[in-house]
Amino acid sequence: MNVDIVVPCFRVSRQAPGVIEKALKQKEIRNVIVVDDACPEQTGKLIKESFAHEPRVTVIQHAINQGVGGAMLSGYAHAFAAGADIVVKLDGDGQMNPELVPQLIVPLIQSRADYTKGNRFFNPKHLDGMPRRRLIGNAMLSLVNKFSSGYWSIMDPTNGFTALHQAAYRQLDTESLDRGYFFESDLLFQLGIANAVVMDVPMLPHYRGETSSLKIPQVMLEFPGKYLNRFLKRLGFKYFVREFNIASLEIMCGIPAIIAGLAYGIYNWVAHMRLGEATSAGTVMIVGLLLLMGFQLLLSAVNYDITHEPKIPLAQNTKPSPSQKSWAE
């Protein structure tokens, strides 16, 4: 099974050579594809010079900066077109340990998953080295991402240490994937639509004072709308286009019940307030019943969504050879 690594590079000229050198030491890796995303530090040129005699290193040069998503899509397209079965994303800033690549790709080789990703929240001891701002921000994004993607069992959705199987890649609408920092979250959304199996792999975060290009205000402005958009798309497609099930009925009944309860309650509250009268117990009971019934129906729909997370990999028919199987075991 052919495993390639894609390294998107932007302002990582100091760290990238060391990352690539460590990646090449992994016996499971066929090629390393470096994508210079119009890096002002000319990281691509540096890699070409440093690894001129290494045939396994390929450099793709972007004339215009496309963002981490655009860089990865260029790397994916090149690797899979060249016959890769699995492509690993390894950032060039040194925050990801190339020695963990075998752990990342084993579930894909064993056909237990279509996409694996690092999880920095798996072990509480690993959180000591994570800046508190990143910890809180990633925890909040993890919660929101569960709703938008449907993958309730995973955490750390923006983690860029990932491995993608070619069977899952074929199901993606690469033209519509986000080119920026929302790329990982958008990829999870599309994998959820394709019913791909996603699995977390524990990893230790490494922070050595690197300067991140991701700006918190940018995330706060851009991400909420994009998450809401993906959530509504997934809800509509999964429960009203692709299929119609008990959760569909619960959503159809639960949302109107909440809206009706709120509207009826506000209307009567305003009307009685103008008359200087207390709202009757019957009115309060009707409002409470509508709201409780609506929330209960929606909670039941969420429970259905959680229990029906994809479990059968798209790559299940791609069986490893005996040698690959013995190595993965």
> 61: number of CA atoms within 13 Å, CB side?
10
Rg (CA), the chain: 24
pLDDT of residue 129: 62
Q: Strand locations in the chain, DSSP E?
A: 3-9, 31-36, 57-61, 86-89, 115-119, 162-165, 198-202
Confidence of residue 328 (pLDDT cuts 50, 70, 90): very low
The whole-angstrom separation of Cα 179 and Cα 69 is 4
Rounded Cα distance, 312 and 329, in Å? 20
Identity of the residue numbered 245:
N
Angle between helices 281-307 and 246-275 (to 10 degrees): 160
Residue with tokens 């072990």: 123
DSSP string covering 170-185, please?
TT--GGGS-SSTTHHH
What per-residue confidence (pLDDT) applies to 42? 94
Give the model's confidence band at 324: pLDDT under 50 very low, under 70 low, under 90 confident, else very high: very low
| DSSP line for 11-77 | S-TTTHHHHHHHHHT-TT--EEEEEE-S-TT-HHHHHHHHTTT-TTEEEEE-SS--HHHHHHHHHHH
Residue-wise pLDDT for 137-159, tens only, equals 778 888 999 999 999 999 988 88
**213 — pLDDT class (breaks 50, 70, 90):** low
This prediction has a pTM of 0.88
Contact 152, 196 (CB under 8 A): no
Distance CA 139, CA 36 (A): 30
Give the model's pLDDT for residue 275.
Answer: 87
User: Could you tell me which residue, 140 or 69, shows the higher pLDDT?
Assistant: 69
Mean pLDDT of 9-33: 94
- From CA 148, how far away is CA 235, in angstroms rounded? 8
Mean pLDDT of the chain: 89
Q: How would DSSP label each residue in 264-275?
A: HHHHHHHHHHHH
Contacts 24+ apart (CB under 8 A), 134-140: 137/216, 137/219
DSSP state of 241: I
Tokens 């990646």 sit at which residue? Answer: 23
Confidence band for 327, pLDDT divided at 50, 70 and 90? very low
pLDDT at position 131, please? 67
Beta strands in 174-313 (DSSP E): 198-202
Backbone angles phi and psi of 101, in degrees to 5: -55, -45
Strand 3-9 and strand 198-202: the pairing is unpaired
**Which residue carries 């492509």 as its tokens?**
87
- Cα 270 to Cα 276: distance, rounded to the nearest angstrom: 10
Tell me what the mean pLDDT of segment 109-122 comes to. Answer: 92
Q: In the 8-state DSSP scheme, what is residue 242? A: S
- Is 3 strand, coil or helix? strand
**DSSP symbol at 211:** P
For 154-186, the pLDDT digits (tens) are 998 888 899 999 999 999 999 999 999 899 999
Question: What average pLDDT score do residues 303-329 get?
Answer: 71
What's the whole-number mean pLDDT along residues 302-318? 89
User: Residue 245: is its pLDDT beyond 70?
Assistant: yes
**What is the identity of the amino acid at 292?**
L
- DSSP notation for 97-127: -GGGHHHHHHHHHTTS-SEEEEETTSSGGGG
Of the candidates 230, 265, 159, 151, the one whose C-alpha atom is nearest the C-alpha of residue 197 is 151
**What mean pLDDT is predicted for residues 255-272?**
94
Q: Write down the pLDDT at residue 272.
A: 87
The phi, psi pair for 132, rounded to 5°, reads -60, -35
